[in-house]
């Protein structure tokens, strides 16, 4: 004869109910924690914007449009509060309006806000191997593709020609000057292939430009200026953390 179950049917039903309740509570906690993280990140960055705001200086007499100008942000205050700040990037009519940090490695700001607080939004950060003034042949800036649309989430919108036509230029503010980032290419690449090909290295610049031109998701409004430094804005794609969508810009 089969051994009788040590649990009655009623006990098993109660146990299943208890497990389901625990699963629901865990899910609610995870959702609440995620929402709190988004809120915390948004509030922190809004506070930083207010701290960094400064009067935009009037253009000098005879200054031509597109010429490098003085930064419109108070970098002295910004760097006194967040010493690793090296730049500020913005793109009109998009969520991109953030400081760029540079740590001792590429891990610290991956999940930390500029003040060091742990947060899944992290910070936008410049590759620790790149010159902090973006003077290198190619500079790499990393940022998360957040589900609430913050950080670098809207980079993937460059898969649309219409989006590109509306946002062909971003602004990069440095402590001593303000520069334009002219968007040249946008493309998807696997994270492994990007590393294997060394696309973020100066010696592989020609291979990068060739790949970018062949795989771009839009027709650019600008031609490549040979002496202009490049900046790669890098984020995960929305459907895979093993793929990257990269917006390649030239610094003017």
pLDDT tens for each residue of 218-239 = 999 999 999 999 999 999 998 8
Residue 204 domain-assigned (yes or no): yes
What is the rounded average pLDDT of the residues 118-126? 95
Q: What is the pLDDT of residue 35?
A: 55
Boundaries of domain holding 206? 47-54+70-251
Residue 8 domain-assigned (yes or no): no
* Residue 174 binned pLDDT confidence (cut-offs 50, 70, 90): very high
Q: Is 232 exposed, middle or buried (0-12, 13-18, 19+ CB in 10 A)?
A: buried
Residue 37 domain-assigned (yes or no): no
Residue 26 domain-assigned (yes or no): no
Flag whether pLDDT at 6 surpasses 90. Answer: no
Q: What is the pLDDT of residue 40?
A: 81
Residue 234 domain-assigned (yes or no): yes
Flag whether pLDDT at 17 surpasses 50. Answer: yes
Residue 198 domain-assigned (yes or no): yes
Number of compact structural domains in the chain? 1
Percent of the chain with pLDDT over 90: 69
Average pLDDT over the chain, rounded to whole? 88
Residue 60 domain-assigned (yes or no): no
Q: What is the pLDDT of residue 23?
A: 74
Residue 17 domain-assigned (yes or no): no
User: Residue 62: which region, alpha, beta or left (left: phi > 0; alpha: psi -120 to 50)?
Assistant: left
What is the rounded average pLDDT of the residues 95-113? 96
Which structure tokens are listed for 123?
A: 């910070």
CA pair distance 25, 6, nearest whole angstrom: 28
List the CATH number of the domain containing 93: 2.40.260.10
* Residue 65 binned pLDDT confidence (cut-offs 50, 70, 90): very low
User: Residue 116: which region, alpha, beta or left (left: phi > 0; alpha: psi -120 to 50)?
Assistant: left
Please list the residues that pair with 101 across neighbouring strands: 85, 125
Write down the pTM of the prediction.
Answer: 0.81
What is the rounded average pLDDT of the residues 42-55? 83
* Residue 29 binned pLDDT confidence (cut-offs 50, 70, 90): low
Which structure tokens are listed for 65?
A: 């449009």
What is the rounded average pLDDT of the residues 75-95? 95
Flag whether pLDDT at 30 surpasses 80. Answer: no
Flag whether pLDDT at 12 surpasses 90. Answer: no
In tens, the pLDDT along 196-218 reads 999 999 999 999 999 999 999 99
């Amino acid at each position: 004869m089969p051994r009788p179950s040590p649990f009655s049917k009623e006990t098993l039903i109660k146990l299943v109910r208890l497990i389901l309740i625990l699963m629901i509570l865990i899910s609610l906690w995870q959702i609440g924690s995620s929402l709190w993280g988004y809120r915390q990140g948004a509030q922190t960055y809004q506070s930083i914007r207010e701290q960094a705001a400064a009067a935009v200086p009037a253009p000098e007499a005879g200054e031509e449009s597109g010429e490098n100008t003085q930064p419109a942000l108070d970098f002295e205050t910004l760097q006194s509060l967040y010493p690793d700040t090296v730049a500020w990037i913005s793109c009109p009519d998009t969520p991109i309006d953030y400081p760029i940090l540079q740590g001792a490695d590429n891990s610290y700001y991956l999940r930390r806000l500029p003040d060091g607080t742990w947060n899944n939004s992290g910070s936008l950060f410049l590759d620790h191997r790149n010159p902090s003034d973006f003077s290198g042949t190619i500079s790499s800036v990393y940022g998360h593709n957040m589900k609430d649309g913050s950080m670098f989430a809207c980079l993937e919108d460059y898969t649309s020609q219409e989006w590109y036509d509306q946002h062909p230029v971003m602004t990069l503010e440095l402590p001593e000057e303000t520069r334009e980032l002219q968007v040249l290419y946008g493309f998807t690449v696997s994270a492994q292939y990007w590393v294997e090909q060394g696309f973020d290295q100066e010696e592989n610049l020609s291979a990068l430009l060739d790949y970018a031109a062949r795989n771009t998701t839009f027709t650019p409004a600008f031609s490549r200026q040979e002496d202009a430094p490049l900046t790669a804005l890098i984020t995960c794609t929305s459907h895979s953390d093993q793929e990257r969508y990269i917006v390649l810009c030239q610094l003017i």
